[in-house]
Structure 1
């Protein structure tokens, strides 16, 4: 299958490209820089230059492909409105281009906001609608295109897609621990995150491309709930730091923007996804990765 991938040189996207190529698909990746383009070409992928603001490039990439996997996001935490607008515009451009074709459109989403009192499931609809909502309401927008003849599928990633080289949320929490001299966790440490190893997430995306029905919501989740205290204890071992509770009122000041996420319950299951796709995560757990030194070089 000819697949156009945005975010193709990113943390998740680069692993997805590897898995797609290994499965025999023809990949064209969106690349902003010469380095990203060279990395994609070295793998055997084709390159389309552009970024999320280059809607003409997104349109052309979608027109030439049999499927689109949209993984790019600006992730500008200092200006979320800009990130949300770019995401919505990109999804609308791709959706409009694919309308009436029956071609596949998989897009990255997340489990945040689905549930706070239990593990979120694939049956939980996203509560985010409209351009001013998180990620510009892109999951619901993409799924609306099913009625317009697009084979849309939501890829909900765990808040930590971990592994050696990860610069995401766990790396940021680790950086806070080193800066503060203590590996902290919010309150009593009972809030929990779901987690998945990068290679497992990539395998799920490929299987989702090949098998998921239109309108599916897939969960890239291997561990349903890793308590924040357990994460902090593992980072404390990695950095030889004391571990301590951070009072809820002090969480924003101690952790910065990441504190709001670390204090949230972002647990999620993937039972339905595993059964649908025949997908079984086999990579290391989050704590195994931390204990093995995956975050010790930052």
Structure 2
């Protein structure tokens, strides 16, 4: 199968490219720059020049392939809602190119959908600002209603491995800057997590075996207590580990306070049974205990 991959040179997308190629698929990766195109060539993939905001390029890439895996997203939390809308339009454009065919679009979303209860694949995301990727999920549902073969892969707050530049590295930076590794309240709020190589395998399986309109959860760890993450960071940096309350929470975490306090236990039982997905890489705490997370 020839697969169009957005975000193909990113942290997650590059692992997806490697997994697809290892499984015998061909890859056409979205590339914004010549440097990105060169990276794809080095991995054995072809490049398609364009961007998330160039809807014509997205449609052309999707139309040239047998399926699409969409991992790209603009991770700028200063204008997060606008970036969610960019994603909504990107999904709609690619789905339109595939509509009426058996070619599948795999869309990325997040596991924060259940408000402290165990997140299940059967749950639709509430269409509220409290759900970070509500716009992406709405776009996927609309595309299915209009005749496209779309599935969702929901990823947890931590997708980890060497090269991670997401939420856990942000916590490490905050602990270095503030001189304390912090958690909120009792710190028992839970983060699911997945190694990026296991996430990559899930994207491929969703493309190959998924059911139209289904949601799949990439949670290898169903819920790691946030206090355990903070404690491990404190030990590595040799800084105190501290519980925060009230105004001190925003003073320490700033815009990240919502994510630091989210309780997001997540099940992937149905996903594993349906797709035969079996994570094999280290869990979050084991991976976080490695030196690569703490190298300046």
Q: Note whether the superposition's TM-score is higher than 0.5.
A: yes
SS of the aligned residue for 1:282 comes to: coil
1:43 aligned residue: 43
Whole-Å separation in 2 of the counterparts to 1:240 and 1:2: 48
Between the aligned partners of 2:116 and 2:162, the Cα distance in structure 1 is 31
Q: CA separation in 1, counterparts of 2:216 and 2:194? A: 13
The question of whether the paired residues in 1 share the 8 Å contact of 2:110 and 2:133 is answered with no
Distance in 2 of aligned mates of 1:15 and 1:248 = 39
State the shift of 1:133 in Å.
Answer: 7.5
Q: Deviations over 1:238-275 (max 9, x none)?
A: 21111111114321220121221010112211000011
**C-alpha distance in 1, partners of 2:246/2:231?**
18
Give the distance between the partners of 1:133 and 1:171, measured in 2 at CA: 22
1:117 matched to 2:134: no
**How big is each residue's C-alpha offset from its partner over 1:85-144, in whole Å with a ceiling of 9 and x where there is no partner?**
2111101111111111121010100011x11232201011111279x9744622132133
Normalising by structure 1, we get a TM-score of 0.95
**Structure 1 CA distance for aligned equivalents of residues 16 and 192 of structure 2:** 20
Q: Judge conservation of contact 1:182–1:241 (CA < 8 Å) in 2.
A: yes
Question: Which residue is equivalent to 1:250?
Answer: 248
1:53 is matched with 53
Contact 1:129–1:140 under 8 Å retained in 2: no
Unaligned runs of 5+ residues in structure 2 are none
Q: Distance in 2 between matches of 1:25 and 1:96?
A: 23
Q: Measure the CA separation in 1 of the matches of 2:104 and 2:225.
A: 36
Distance verdict in 2 for CA 1:115–1:92, change over 3 Å? same
Answer whether contact 2:189 2:261 (CA < 8 A) is retained.
Answer: yes
Partner Cα separation in structure 2 for residue 73 and residue 33 of structure 1:
16
Structure 2 length-normalised TM? 0.96
CA contact (8 A) 1:88 1:136 kept: no
Q: Do 2:96 and 2:148's aligned partners in 1 also have CA atoms closer than 8 Å? A: no
Equivalent residue for 1:210, pick from 192, 208, 211:
208
Change (3 A) 1:228 1:248: farther
Instruction: After the TM superposition, list the runs of 4 or more consecutive aligned residues in structure 1 that deviate by more than 3 angstroms.
Output: 132-136
- SS of 1:256's equivalent in the other structure is helix
- Give the length in aligned residue pairs: 296
Q: How much does 1:146 deviate?
A: 2.3
